[in-house]
Structure 1
Amino acid sequence: MSYSSVDPGTTHRFRLVIDGVSVGEFTGCTGLACTVEVEEYPEGGRNDSMLYLPKRVKFPPLVLTRPLTQEAEKLSQWVMDSVNEARQQTGQVAALAPNGEVLAKWDLQSVMPVAWHGPRFDASGLGAAIEVLEIVHHGLFKAGTT
């Protein structure tokens, strides 16, 4: 299946790569966003408009979710290793087509995990056991630059 024949509406997997190593694939990803804080500056002599000067860009945490897989132990170990080593890591989130092709990707700088929630087990429930990873980062960047 070629890229042009992939229906973007069927994207349902996201791959997280940290420092070039895949941490796993996820079925949900929220937080790919940014907000620019602006300073309003009244333009002299004009009462009908304002100038908006950018001050700071904020990035919300990324929250990745997936049903329990055999990679659960690998993910929780990566979280603990990252916290214990306290080093700057680069990351990448890639949206995958059903055939595994990368539809889009976002490179992240200074990635750090801030929460991991293992699956909640409930024998009476019908839903899948879900694990959740929450990471923060210092922004998006183009590959090859920092």
Structure 2
Amino acid sequence: MEEKEIYLSNVVGNYRFMVEIENLLVASFSEVSGLVVETELEQYNEGGVNEYTHQLPMRTKHVPIVLKHGLTDSYELWDWYDDVVKGKIVRRSGSIILFDDQFREFRRWTFNDAFPSKWVGPELNASVSEVAIEQIELVHNGFKFL
């Protein structure tokens, strides 16, 4: 009987990460989402074939990257978004870096030509004692998985 090699990969937690955005000094982010790539499909029904529908790949799209962090005295993210509102689009590249349990770089997603398309301020509620969270959404021209 032939032996099969068993490959056990390291699984890392999703809580050791860092975000780099060129020329911006921003406090660390508490949450990142939007690392999504999706290929749109066109369905084609072939005449006389009723068992399935052909799925043809079309455009591939990248959803916005959403960054959240506790509100600080820094206006860097707001100023970047405010420039967009005023018609001054400043595109920046950056990286989302995931670290292993030894704080070594495990994965890096590098995005290009990003600019903010949405800014969300904190939800204020006097009945809870939570950190005020600022959120910014970045549209981009894709990312590379390194």
Which residue identity lines up with residue 129 of structure 1 in the other structure? Answer: A
Q: Superposition pairs for residues 56-71 of structure 1, below 5 Å?
A: 56-70=59-73
* Larger deviation, residues 54-63 vs 98-107: 98-107
User: Match for residue 131 of structure 1?
Assistant: 134
Quote the residue 1:90 is aligned against. Answer: 93
Residue 74 of structure 1 is matched in structure 2 by 76
- For residue 81 of structure 1, report the CA deviation from its aligned partner: 4.5
TM-score, length-scaled by structure 2: 0.69
When the two chains are superposed, the root-mean-square deviation of aligned CA atoms in Å is 3.1
Q: Quick one: structure 1 residues 78 and 44, their matched pair in 2 at CA, closer, same or farther if it must change by over 3 Å?
A: same
Q: Whose helix fraction is larger, Structure 1's or Structure 2's?
A: 1
Q: What is the CA-CA distance between 1:97 and the residue it aligns to?
A: 4.7
Structure 2 portions without partners, runs of 5+: 1-9
2:55 aligned counterpart, secondary structure: strand
Equivalence map 1:108-119=2 (5 Å): 108-119=111-122
Instruction: Give the number of equivalent residue pairs.
Output: 136
Match of 2:15 among 12, 16, 30: 12
* TM-score scaled by length of structure 1: 0.69
User: How far apart are 1:118 and its partner, in Å?
Assistant: 3.5
The counterpart of 2:44, out of the listed 26, 36, 41, is 41
Cα deviation 1:39-91 (Å, max 9, x = unaligned): 12345664423332111112222211112345x32332333356653244323
The percent of aligned pairs where both chains have the same amino acid is 32
Offset, 1:22: 5.8
1:38 to partner: Cα distance: 0.8
Which entry has the higher C-alpha Rg, 1 or 2? 2
Residue 103 of structure 1 corresponds to which residue in structure 2?
106
Alignment pair present for 1:30 and 2:41: no
Matched residue of 2:138: which SS? strand
Mean Cα deviation higher: 90-99 or 51-60: 90-99
Q: Quote the Cα distance in structure 2 between the aligned partners of 1:100 and 1:22.
A: 21
Letter in 2 for 1:26: F
Q: For residue 52 of structure 1, what is the aligned residue in structure 2?
A: 55
Query: Which deviates more, 22-31 or 79-88?
Result: 79-88
